[in-house]
Chains A and B, each alone.
Chain A
Amino acid sequence: MSQKWVETSVGLFILAAILGMLLLAFKVSDLSLYGEHDTYTVFAKFDNIGDLKPRAPVTIAGVKIGQVVSINLDKALYKATVTMRIKARDNNIPTDSSANIVTAGLLGSNYIAITPGFETAFMQDKGVISETNSAILLEDMIGQLIFNSKKGDKDDEKV
């Protein structure tokens, strides 16, 4: 077993490990090379965030433009302050846009959908989205449905 073969196979071993690492980084975890300096922060206050969690996507028209960084309670207003990091490339969000918490599919996780407004001024770093809609809780909706259908039955009886 010559020294050359030993060194070559160690080199191949390290190359294989680097290849594995690259696959894990780019194919498995979809590491983007955007650092924090390529993003800007936007806040929004919600009455109820439902099941929203940090790292949830932020979308416009279904396209992911950023993600939720942290969720805190605003002690003065009893509202949830959601901090979002948006890609610097998508810097043309009108200031009167509204943020909604929606659910992916029937049982999917929650994410934030931003509906653009009509203002010509755009959201800056540390800007606040003032118009928000809370998460729609499935339980509340089912409750409402049952309540409405019962009312409908009673109306039928009267007639």
Chain B
Amino acid sequence: MPDTFQCSPGSSGDRKPSPFRSSSQEKVYKPAHKVVLVMVDDDEDDCILVKAALKDACFNCTFRCVQDGLQIMDYLKHAGNYQDPRSAPFPDLILLDLNLPRMNGREVLARLKTNPHYRSIPVIVLTTSTNIEDVKICYDLGANSYIIKEAHFDGLVTSIRTLKDYWLDVATLPPKGQP
């Protein structure tokens, strides 16, 4: 499936006015570069749903989906299928499922958060697991937040829009580049 979308300002529809602009103070806090979200999920339907949920809301995003833990490591290192750096722009945010083939989400999280090149990337665990032990382990490993992946589309859309409002409109993301 195509894994990139862009929304022009004119197509943002019912997007709420940015809280960072005001008529009395023309100050824009948000970075000008396109925000790159990478979702790690082996369920293609979930990727399509999240992409759809983001599409209406995301002002200036590139969305990529990779299928498992080994693929996200290849993506970050520009190895395997991602040797062309243009195919794998450095993520501003990672959405991470836990139950992944080959290398599970906990191991991915541990690797990302102990690597000085990647540990500043905010990682949001997005999983169907409501197990309190999973929540605890993920925060212990350094997850920036943990969200339950809703089974119903409407619930998922609401969660993803709240996520988008917070991480893309309110949070100041870490600068890209070498540590």
| A and B assemble together | no
Residues of A within 8 A of B (CB): none
Residues of B within 8 A of A (CB): none
